Amino acid sequence: MSNVDARTLPKPEGRSRWAADPDLATRRHPAEDQGRRLTWRGSFERDRDRLLHARAFRRLAGKTQLLAVGEGRQVRTRLTHTLEISAAARTLARHLSLNEDLAEAIALAHELGQPPFGNAGARSLHELLSQGLARLAPRGMGVKPRAATRRSEPEPSITSTHGFDAGTQALRVIDLLEVRYAHPGLNLTDATREGLFKLRHGTGAEVPAGIDPTGLRQGEPPPLEAECVRAAWLAMTPLHDVEDMLSEGFLELRDVLRVDDAARVVARLKKAGGWPRGKFRERAALHRALVHATITDVLVASQKRISVADAAGKLPKAGGVVAPSRAGAALVEALRELLEVRVLTRSDVRRADSRAARTVEGIFVALYRDPLLLDDSVLLRWKELSRRTFLRDLAPSRQAEEIAAHYHGQAAFARLLADHIAGMTDRHAEELWQSLSLGRSAR
């Protein structure tokens, strides 16, 4: 990794030619005319504020990052993780003379699609949405699911080959699921939507079914502000997770110092006289040193690539301008592997993940088999999507027939359930599954 200190980097002068221009930003829907006499926010500032006020953003406080927030734990949630990634992305954008507001907006949106229980919940939803319909056959309602016409034919997928993906779900949240205006979604700028999509999917990915491709510039490199968010996300996530695992006793300082590049960062700190005494101060010093080293590495490497682009008059088609050096990427990858080997394989962590997956699966299957267990708000949304009669308005004798014909076997209904469950906090999902389990056992 580079030994260049951030204080030696040239200060940005004006905005780069590659920075996104808020005055050229477009939206899928016309901006709302609210009769204001003065407009003082730019387009990307509006995006940021709309995200901060979104219900999905507030719910991130109750969602697992790496470990569930239990009694006495002080680990990161999806919300605190998002705020820290946002801060790092703003730093990169500012010192690369890019649009800081756009970087912040993309960063604030990047985890909105995360379901409860972190990666375990996402894997469970993906498996549910990728499996055949027959596996979710309803029981006890006197209704049989549609069967394949021939045994040789594969079972139809419940939705599509995309299954569940947190990045795609984040786009669903901002485009469709948030309700604040006359139109669906938050009506964010296309630059924010494009950055969010390409943050996880890259330049060449196809836009999944159900997502409006308008403004996503398929095949084009993402805005450099989106690359700032990606670089911050990939670098900071394992650093934050390592700090949390040190705090919870899942890792020891000596485990991290076995990573050669991390040991060299600490050695430089000790040589400069900046290494404190005491377990808690050592952990904090290690985290500060690693964050400084990785962000500095990204800045130095990215400034060199931007200089090349300036000379050529164009950005590389494949993107990758704002990114770490090889050594910087190697340090982050080594820390990620440390977490996988020493933390994610622990029996207690795997048991917690297994319990989380069973909870998500149990909720999904129960609600799929008996939609009458759903809240009215979800059933009303299905009424709007399917243009069918509100289920509770039908006589009980007709409800089973309606469910068999227009709920079971419907990919759109399965996706509706995934949207509903993905929006839950950990606690909401746990309490709902407990309620459903008690009701089942009472029968």
Can you tell me the distance from the alpha carbon of 435 to that of 225, in angstroms, rounded to the nearest whole number? 44
User: What's residue 407's pLDDT?
Assistant: 93
Q: 378: buried, middle or exposed (CB in 10 Å: 19+, 13-18, 0-12)? A: middle
User: What's residue 145's pLDDT?
Assistant: 43
User: What's residue 159's pLDDT?
Assistant: 47
CB 37 within 8 A of CB 360: no
Can you tell me the distance from the alpha carbon of 253 to that of 83, in angstroms, rounded to the nearest whole number? 25
CB 241 within 8 A of CB 66: yes
Q: DSSP letters along 384-428, please?
A: HHHT---GGGS-HHHHHHHHHHHTTT-HHHHHHHHHHHHT--HHH
Dihedral sign, Cα of residue 48, residue 53, residue 56, residue 61: positive
User: What's residue 214's pLDDT?
Assistant: 92
* Cα angle value 189/203/50 (rounded, 5°): 20
3-state helix, strand, coil in the chain (%, to 5): 60, 0, 40
Can you tell me the distance from the alpha carbon of 197 to that of 404, in angstroms, rounded to the nearest whole number? 35
CB atoms within 10 A of CB 443: 5
Angle at which helices 100-109 and 190-201 pack, to 10 degrees? 60
Task: Fill in the DSSP letter of residue 346.
Answer: S
User: What's residue 152's pLDDT?
Assistant: 42
User: What's residue 8's pLDDT?
Assistant: 47
To the question of pTM greater than 0.85 for the whole model, the response is: yes
Q: What is the pLDDT along the chain (443 residues), one digit of tens a residue?
A: 544 444 445 555 678 899 999 999 999 988 776 666 667 788 999 999 999 999 999 999 999 888 776 655 788 999 999 999 999 999 999 999 999 999 999 999 999 999 999 999 999 999 998 876 556 656 544 444 444 444 444 444 454 446 899 999 999 999 999 998 888 999 999 999 999 999 988 888 888 888 899 999 988 899 999 999 999 999 999 999 999 999 989 999 999 999 999 999 889 888 888 788 888 899 999 999 999 999 999 999 999 999 999 999 999 988 899 999 999 999 999 999 999 999 999 999 999 999 999 999 999 999 999 999 999 999 999 999 999 999 999 999 999 999 999 999 888 999 999 999 999 999 999 999 999 987 665 55
163: Cβ–Cβ under 8 A, 6 or more apart, which residues?
Answer: 125, 126, 127, 129, 130
